[in-house]
Structure 1
Amino acid sequence: MYKRTFLIIGLICIGFVSKAQNFDLGIKAHPLFGWMKPDQGSNSGAFTGFSYGLMGDFYVKERYAFSTEFAVTSMGGTIIEGDSQNGIETTYKIKYIEIPLSMKLKTNKMGQGQFYGQFGFVPGFNIGAKASGTQTVGGISTDFDDKNVQDNINGARLGLLIGGGYEYYFDNSTRLALGLSFNNGFTDVFDNGKATNSYMALNVGIFF
């Protein structure tokens, strides 16, 4: 299923890039706030993660661009199963290589900048996963820390991206991009259980 989805997305990307007139390259580094939603158990609070990497805009028209990135993203969340006598509370920290693929629509320039909105998909590929938490059996608790759980994590993730923001121009090409985005995961995180992970990001980057 994942291979077919990524193939379709790839073909769409090739079509947009082949029509692109201009290309802008930039770097990004920003925090994010994620959570996990399990089918069984409950989630507990937000997970603070981070994303960094390269980003590029391929302009199809003057104010319409195909936008993509190559980013290393750490996300996760906490899942609680059972109760205070017999249960487990686990915080997962999962790292992905993400390649967001979206359309960015921009307004006309207003003063030194312009607003934008974007919508698309975010394929991700797992490159690491650790778990920390507390397991309770018969009221006796045992802590565990930084346990490698990558073998229990699906190798691929797919999310839906929606966001917007503002780009401030220092000159004709260099600009600061600030925005908010929501990455809604809709594929299972685990190989043997059902849960999704999503996050809100405070996007910060510079195009050159």
Structure 2
Amino acid sequence: MKKRKLLTLCCALLGGFHTHAQTGYDPAPEQAPEERLNRLRIGAVVAPGLAWMKPSAEKDGNQTQRSAGNKLSFMYGLMFDYEFAGNYAISTGLQINSTGGIIETSNPSAAELWASKTHMNYSLQYIELPVAIKLKTDRINNFRIFGQAGLTIGFNIGKKATYEIVQKNSTLGDSIYKTDVKEKLTGGIGVVAPVMFQMNLGTGIQYAVSQNVDAYIGVFFNNGFAPNATDPTKNNKLPKFTDGNTRMNSFSLRLGFYF
């Protein structure tokens, strides 16, 4: 009888070991984050970067226009991820983005009293609502690699610029309009588009610091595609000129935490 009970116990232990070996190591909740579906994760993020404005065409009639340099940008805000499947989430947020760019134009054949040369250094600020589909790998030593793609809608809340503009005047000689101090653009809502749309693409890593906290780092590219970011012909204060359907673009490094 004792031998039979001992044999039964040994078989049970061997069976349990075999099952555990097949399924792999199952860490305790305090050793690894619990993966749950249909949950909302909230995070905080900051993102330093480089921004630039680029005309969609280099030439418009006799006028040429070009991007004349990058500007430092800075974004901060909140992130919201709704994890609706194991490796998939809808990612959104609410963020403030300080950005801008430099545009130069040249038109030797400009009409009388129009601008023959311009140098516009824009400093713009937006409140943004991004929406994206986020794909994540399974956890590997508490790391998850992610990639995401989506759209960002931005509402302009600040528009300033420094500029130097040469106005053609054959009678009195060319006039120069210039300011080295950031000046608020008040020449109508059309000077800077009140709403901007961008395509956002990003990839990065999330690292489980604890059961419920992930550190977050990513590299993102934002490509503005509509509408024309600026329309200087609507500015009643400055000489008339165009800038070739300017788009807003940026690269940024995002750093943050999910809770």
Which ranges in structure 2 are unaligned for 5 or more consecutive residues? 1-36, 58-63, 109-114, 168-173, 234-241
Please give the residue correspondences for 1:23-62 in structure 2 after superposition, counting only pairs within 5 Å.
23-38=40-55, 39=57, 40-62=64-86
- 1:205 is the counterpart of 2:256: yes
Change (3 A) 1:166 1:67: same
Higher strand share: 1
> What is the RMSD computed on CA atoms of the aligned residues?
2.1
Partners of 1:195 and 1:201 in 2: how far apart?
Answer: 20
Q: What amino acid is the match of 1:37?
A: K
CA distance in 2, matches of 1:134, 1:144: 8
TM-superposition CA deviations, 1:110-158 (whole Å, max 9, x none): 1121100001000111111100132345496733421112631111110
CA contact (8 A) 1:77 1:93 kept: yes
CA distance in 2, matches of 1:66, 1:36: 29
Q: Does 1:189 align with 2:229?
A: yes
Structure 1 residues 141-150 or 159-168, which shifts more? Answer: 141-150
Alpha-carbon contact 2:219-2:253 (below 8 Å) kept: yes
In the TM superposition, residue 88 of structure 1 has moved relative to its aligned partner by: 1.7
| Cα distance in 2 for residues equivalent to 1:134 and 1:140 | 7
1:22 Cα deviation after fit: 0.4
1:205 CA displacement: 1.0
What's 1:153 paired with?
A: 192
Work out whether residues 86 and 139 of structure 1, in 8 Å CA contact, stay in contact via their aligned partners in 2.
no
| Paired residue type of 2:249 | S
**Residue 161 of structure 1: how far off its partner (Å):** 0.9
**Structure number with bigger Rg:** 2
The 5 A counterparts of 1:143-182 are: 143-149=179-185, 151=189, 152-182=191-221
Partner of 2:122: 92
Aligned length: 189
In the alignment, structure 1 residue 69 sits paired with structure 2 residue 93:
yes
> Displacement of 1:168 after TM fit?
1.0
**In structure 2, C-alpha distance between the alignment counterparts of 1:176 and 1:186, rounded to whole Å:** 31
**Which of the residues 136, 141, 147 maps onto 1:117?**
147
SS, match of residue 141 in structure 2: coil
> AA paired with 1:95?
Q
Task: Judge which range, 183-192 or 107-116, deviates more.
Answer: 183-192
Moved more, 83-92 or 162-171: 83-92
Report the secondary structure of 2:146's partner residue: strand
Contact 2:47–2:76, Cα closer than 8 Å, also in 1: yes
Q: Which amino acid aligns with 1:169?
A: A
- Identity over the aligned pairs, expressed in percent? 29
What SS does the corresponding residue of 2:105 show, helix, strand or coil? Answer: strand
Tell me, which stretches of 5 or more residues in structure 1 are unaligned?
1-19
After the TM superposition, which of the residue ranges 37-46 and 142-151 deviates more from structure 2?
142-151
Distance 1:80 1:73 in 2: 23
Tell me, in whole angstroms, the C-alpha distance in 1 between the residues paired with 2:220 and 2:213. Answer: 22
- How much does 1:72 deviate? 0.4
After the TM superposition, which segments of 4 or more aligned residues of structure 1 sit over 6 Å from their partners?
Answer: none
**Separation of aligned partners in 1, 2:179 and 2:194:** 27
